[in-house]
Amino acid sequence: MKKCIVIPLLLVCFMLFGNIKIGVLLPLTGEVSGFGKAMKMGIDLAHEERGTVLGEKIDLVYYDSKSERIGAQEGAEKLIIQEGVTAIIGEVISSNTIAAGEVAEKRKIPLVAPVATNPLVTKGKKFVSRVCFTDPFQGKALAEFVSKTLKVKRVAIFTETGDEYSTELTDYFMSRFKTYSEQVVQLSYKAGDRDFTQQISKAISHGSEAFVITGYYEEIALIAKQSRSMGYKGYILAGDGADAPELIQMGGQAVEGLYFTAHYHPDAPVTQNSKKFLQAFIGKYGTKPPSSDAPLGYDAYMILVEAIDRAKTKNPEKIATAVRSIKDFQGVTGMITIDASGDPIKDVVIEMIKNQQFSFAAVISANLLK
């Protein structure tokens, strides 16, 4: 590798010589590490299957955000400046991905988000795209399922204040649900809360037929356990923040029957690649994917590498443009077309916990959610 004397050219030199580096920014420790660990399994499998592009070896450079917004921001900076990555995959939760995306946009490095669903992740950005559906889609899908399938009229919705994902998902659910019923009580909590008895008491006194929790698996499990211990017998539902095996580990029988939105289920393959991925995943790990995070990580990697191949260059701006030229890509989680804003349009899977396992329940068509 040639040495670079002028410091500002360091990043350029990294890109011109040596292997192609892709940064992977995930929460491998901390509150939502379950998401990150599952996603790493999918990314590692994809890397094994397609480890070269443009005739060069791909090196994955992992950085642990520790499930923190500042960790995601610092991680993006270090991956770009110190490691000289060509592109980044990550983060997982929306607030952390927004922070990392701001860095990527400023540094003009493409970032592909596997599962960050908040609209702000890509809004107004040229270099940040994603492979998952967005909160408007899953919020509307959850409302459709609650209203049309479960025939529920009275709902209590639990929102984590200060979290972009939870607040946006609440807003989109509410907007759609209120076209069917106005009987909603809104309740809030903070990340790290452990006692939800006050909110649950209000929800029960409202006569709620369903509790909708728009946060993440740890609080969802706690709210479910406390709700059941207080005598609540109605439905419990959540967004894709519930999609981690830790939900069952923490919630036990209290989460039995819980419904949540998801991006994928191994029992409902939607493309030929869905079937191939499942066989390869079981072959490598000896088990089915623990959640949607693994196949989404796989899809994010494959789409990014496909974009590099189409761009025929390591130039970040051309790669970012190539990502948004992806049309009808046969992903594990569905056919993926990235629009001009960096967002795909995809169906929403509904899963439920049955016999302490994630089970396929339904698919809500994207056509219904427009």
DSSP string, 119-156: GGGTTT-SSEEESS--HHHHHHHHHHIIIIIS----EE
pTM of the entire structure?
0.88
In terms of DSSP bridges, do strands 155-160 and 184-189 run parallel, antiparallel, or are they unpaired? parallel
Query: Chain-wide mean pLDDT for the chain?
Result: 94
Alpha helix (H) ranges present in the chain? 10-16, 33-49, 69-81, 94-107, 135-144, 164-177, 197-205, 217-229, 246-251, 272-285, 293-311, 316-323
Q: Where is 237: in which H helix or E strand?
A: strand 235-238
Instruction: Give whole-number Cα distances, 325 to 66, 301, 342, in Å.
Output: 33, 16, 9
For the cut 70, the answer to whether the pLDDT of residue 7 exceeds it is: no
Query: How crowded is residue 192: how many other Cβ atoms within 10 Å of its Cβ?
Result: 9
pLDDT in tens, 73-101: 999 999 999 999 999 999 999 999 999 99
Of the two residues 290 and 16, the one the predictor is more confident about is: 290
Using pLDDT thresholds of 50, 70 and 90, give the confidence band for residue 346.
confident
Q: Are residues 110 and 206 in the same domain?
A: no
pLDDT in tens, 102-153: 999 999 999 999 999 999 999 999 999 999 999 999 999 999 999 999 999 9
Using pLDDT thresholds of 50, 70 and 90, give the confidence band for residue 370.
confident
- Over residues 213-232, mean pLDDT: 98
Domain presence at residue 123: yes
- Over residues 188-194, mean pLDDT: 94
pLDDT in tens, 45-62: 999 999 999 999 999 999
Domain presence at residue 345: no
Percent of the chain with pLDDT over 90: 91
Query: How crowded is residue 69: how many other Cβ atoms within 10 Å of its Cβ?
Result: 16
Q: Are residues 354 and 222 in the same domain?
A: yes
Number of domains present in the structure of the chain: 2
Q: Are residues 15 and 111 in the same domain?
A: yes
pLDDT value of position 17: 52
pLDDT value of position 298: 98
For the cut 70, the answer to whether the pLDDT of residue 163 exceeds it is: yes
Domain presence at residue 323: yes
Q: Are residues 191 and 64 in the same domain?
A: no
pLDDT value of position 6: 37
Domain encompassing residue 32: 7-133+269-338
pLDDT in tens, 11-34: 444 444 569 999 999 999 999 999
For the cut 50, the answer to whether the pLDDT of residue 9 exceeds it is: no
For the cut 70, the answer to whether the pLDDT of residue 273 exceeds it is: yes
Q: Are residues 318 and 356 in the same domain?
A: no
CATH number, domain at 254?
A: 3.40.50.2300
